[in-house]
Amino acid sequence: ALADTVKIGVFGPMTGDAAAMGQSEKEAVDLAVKEKNAAGGLLGKQIEIIYADDAGKPEEAVNSAKRLISKDEVLMMIGSISSPASLAASQVARQMEVPQIVVAGTAQKITTAGNKWVFRSPVPDTKLVADLVDFIHEKFPNYKKFAFLYVNDDFGRGGFEAFKKAGAKYGYEIVAEERYARGDLDFTAQLNRIKASGADAMIEWSRYTEGALVAKQFAQIGLTLPRFASDGVATPKFIELGGNAVDGVMFTTHFSPATVADIPAAKSFIDKYKAAYGRTPDAYAAEAYDAITIAMLGIEKAGKADRAAVRDALAKVEFGSTRGAFKFDEKGDPLLVTHVVKIDAGKETNARNIPVQN
């Protein structure tokens, strides 16, 4: 169809439990698009973003994707945040042959199902975890026995499976596997068992809300284990909610202001974001910002509003993202280094700089 704008669909949880992440997504996209449109837009047209709320649910993500594609006739889609929602929508993308860039879903499955229409902005959890395991092995060679606490959904489950696999390489032993349901508030039962397990360190795959509570209760029952956490806590909110209880937590992430100091794209993104919204961007915002940037680059490169052409162009995009030099592998995952952050006195610091312990 010949439209007078370039339409890009963006979907994610604007309502519901994950609404905060959807908000980061939307703010980052708005920021990039406003700038681009001010600079003349794409293919000589203005970019029009069409948002759809999927409330973080797979069923609604499918509806959103179908709606964006066939009702709004978008050229391509960006979204969603959670893995199940992204995965469900990716089936639609594949069937209707529309390029999709997942913003934050890290489940490995999303890109391994042979779906050539789906790309993603973050690295998959397998890579994230493998990098974390390498980090632990390098910096803390004495840790062999681990307690693993995770939220029982695709996110936590994915982290756990990946850790089991990656840890096998170094002979890591899991002495406690504990899980909880999304929205739980009380983790003392799990933490008490972890306390009794004799682990050298605790790995935790939580989102920041539960993560902050875990940290507080961790302190309250007098646990002192070293703690490593997931990218789910990679947001300033984690420190705000957890207070001094989160000091010492080391977490892996796609993006942190503390670790991207020498990346120029990151610096300008952080400044612009702060200026626009008065807060530091979190990892979701960075991933969404990169996703929309990739989309714009791909469309420009394709040179026409054609979905197949755009897909092929996307696969070849290379640029300096907020997280470093960006390039997709053959599955559609980015080849990026991951970061490890340590919280020190309420501040994020680059953990790769800490000395090796033994």
Partner 1 sequence: MKMPPALPRLIALLILVAVPLVEHNAYWLHVFSLALIAAILALGMQLLLGMAGLLSLGQGAFYGIGAYVAGALAANYGVPFLLTLLAGGLAAAAASLLLVPIVRLKGTSLAVATLGFSIIVHLVILNEEWLTGGSLGLMDIPKPTLFGVSVADDDVFYWVCLVILVLVFVAMDRISKSRFGRALSAICQDEEAARASGIRLAWSKSKCFLVAAFTAGVAGGLFAYHSRYLSPSDFTFNESIEIMIMAVIGGLGSLSGAVVGAFVVVLMPEVLRSSGELRMILFGLAVILLMAAGNLGIVGLASLAAAKLFGLFSSARAWVSKPREAN
Partner 2 sequence: MIYDQFLQTLLGGLAIGCIYSLIALGISMIVRATDILHFAQGEVMMVGAMTGFSSGVWAGNAPLLALIGGTFGGGLMAVAVELGVYRPLRARRVPLINVVIATIGVSIVLQNVARLVWGSEPLAYPALFETRGLVISGFTVSPQLATIVVLSVLIMAALAVFFRYSRAGIAMQAAAQDPDAARLMGISVERATVNTFAVSGMMAGAAGVLLGSLFFASFNMGFITGIKAFVAAVLGGLGSVPGAMVGGLLFGVIETFSAMFISTSYKDAVGMVVLILILLVAPMGLFGRAGRQV
Which x/- pattern, by CB under 8 A, does the window 143-182 give for partner 2?
Answer: ---------x-------------------------xxxx-
Residue 63 interacts with, from partner 2, partner 1, none (CB under 5-8 Å by kind): partner 1
For partner 2 (CB under 8 A), the number of binding residues is: 29
Q: Looking at the DSSP assignment, which residues form a beta bridge with residue 100?
A: 77, 118
107 binds, among partner 2, partner 1, none (CB under 5 to 8 A by kind): partner 1
d(CA 42, CA 107): 31
- Contact call for residue 304 and partner 1 (CB under 8 A): no
52 binds partner 1 (CB under 8 A): yes
Binds 51: which of partner 2, partner 1, none (CB < 5-8 Å by kind)? partner 1
- Least Å distance, CB 72 to partner 1, is 9
324: which strand partners?
321
What is the closest distance, in whole angstroms, from the C-beta atom of residue 235 to partner 1 in the complex? Answer: 20
Cα–Cα distance measured from residue 319 to residue 325, given in angstroms and rounded to the nearest whole number: 6
CB of 354 to partner 1, least distance (A): 33
CA distance 138 to 183: 34
- Choose which of 12, 31, 36, 64 interacts with partner 1 (CB under 8 A): 64
Nearer Cβ to partner 1, position 152 or 192? 152
Q: Cβ–Cβ contacts within 10 Å for residue 220, how many? A: 11
**How many whole angstroms separate alpha carbon 92 and alpha carbon 60?**
12
Minimum distance from residue 153 beta carbon to partner 1 (Å): 4
Residue among 36, 67, 127, 339 that touches partner 1 (CB under 8 A): 67
Q: Is residue 209 close enough to count as binding partner 2 by CB under 8 A?
A: yes
Among partner 2, partner 1, none, partner that 221 touches (CB below 5 to 8 angstroms by kind): partner 2
Residues 6+ apart with CB under 8 A from 40: none
Do the Cβ atoms of 285 and 122 come closer than 8 Å?
no
Query: Which residue number, 96 or 315, has a Cβ lying nearer to partner 1?
Result: 96
Footprint of partner 1 on this chain (CB under 8 A)?
Answer: 14-15, 50-53, 56-59, 62-64, 66-67, 69-71, 84, 87-88, 91, 96, 107, 109, 113, 152-154, 156-158, 181
The residue ranges that bind partner 2 (CB under 8 A) are 15-17, 19-20, 22-23, 152, 178-181, 183, 185-186, 188-190, 192, 209, 212-213, 220-222, 237, 240-241, 243
